[in-house]
Chains A and B, each alone.
Chain A
Amino acid sequence: MADEVKLYAAAPSPYVFRAKLALSIKGVKFEYINEDLGNKSAELLKYNPVHKKVPVLVHNGNAISESLVIVEYIDEVWKGVPILPQDPYEKAIARFWAKFIDDKCIPTAFKAFGSNGDEQVVTEAREQLQILENELKVKGTKFFGGDNINLVDIAGSVIAYWVGIFQDATGLELITKEKFPKITVWAEDFVNLEVVNQALPPREDLVAFFKKMFGKA
């Protein structure tokens, strides 16, 4: 009984990357369908009629949307390398930090990069990142998942890779080694993991894309 797994995607999206990475971690064979976001396919609109966005995972005809919902689904369906902790309490904590990244870190960072260096906006973004920095310090482990990556690291891939690209694209140095030593090291370790490295989209393509998006091209 062959599984049919399709991922509706777009290379620049860090949310798509979460799903792609989760599938790669589990060694799942899938069809990567590259969407032109300016001209969305009929299938994408059918599978995600509510938001019409990527990523969408279609598994044997079942369509799943929302990147973190997709990652949890992948973890539940395909055994092997675990993405979420087994223990309910540890799971709750992992979900909490993933939510923090989505609710606080990403929106404030995005606003900062789009702000043309507005000090207040940049400070707010750094304050949220500082909370993440402190968490790494307190944990004292290589990754949020310990020796191996987990849901939080996957959710944080936008910080580990995309923030650097946004920095190149806009000239704003949001995360510096001096201000965020733990995050800097974690980001390097994360990006250098083989399973991550192989799945990441090429840097130059992304810098070009985001330069345009932030209006700096």
Chain B
Amino acid sequence: MSEMGEIKLLGAAASPFVNRVQFVLNLKSIKYEFMEEDFDNKSELLLTSNPVFKRVPVLIHSNKPPVCESLIIIDYLEETHPDVHKLLPSDPADRAVIRFWAYYIDNEFFPLYGRLRKTPDKEGKEALKKQIIERSQVLEKTFVKFSNGKPYFGGDDVGYLDVVLGCFLGWTKFVGNYNNFKILDEVRQWRNLKLF
């Protein structure tokens, strides 16, 4: 940790992508300073440290340029702090499968929530709700396979996918309640409150 120097996390408490990085920092007992961003008034620091995407989270450490994008930050933390709360298995094939599901969650599942919110018409909304349920069922099947009867994707303990999906649990509940349908059922049992 001394090679990384002082760590700052540029974020927003409401952002699930920021939350995931916070989960990992906490799990790995990494001290950091949290700097809250105002989306309506992005700071100079944010705009200069993530000029490409101009979004949080951004990991800033005192002796290197910033690291952006939540999964990339998490991978970076995993590689620089491998000894405390390992999130990924060592087998390359197992890791590849986990990364595949992280892609799925970020690219195929979560964006549906935003699309649901932006879709004005009832048919469009119903079609998206159906898609969300279908994909959440895919995730539930995946959870069953990974957890093997244990509480987490990572087995006995919180792993990579728990963090990647877990940050969306709050949103999932909200989107479900707001739109009147249940999204994740079995998966919700493993909601790891100790991370909050």
Contacts and interface: CB of A to CB of B under 8 A. Distances in A.
Contacts of B69: 95-96, 99
A135 to B, nearest CB: 9
Interface residues of B, number: 22
- Chain B interface mostly helix, strand, loop or mixed? helix
Contacts of B53: 100
B75 interface: yes
B68 A69 contact: no
Interface string B61-81: 000100111001101100110
Nearest to A63: B97
Contacts of B75: 91-92, 95
B93 interface: yes
Given A89-B76, A95-B72, A62 B100 contact: no
B69 to A, nearest CB: 6
A104 B55 CA distance: 14
A2 interface: no
A69 B103 contact: yes
- Chain A interface mostly helix, strand, loop or mixed? helix
Interface bracket on A: 20 to 34
Interface stretch (A71-79, A139-147, A180-188): A71-79
A4 to B, nearest CB: 13
A206 B100 CA distance: 28
Contacts of A92: 67, 72-73, 75-76
Interface of B: 52-53, 64, 67-69, 72-73, 75-76, 79-80, 92-93, 95-97, 99-100, 103-104, 138
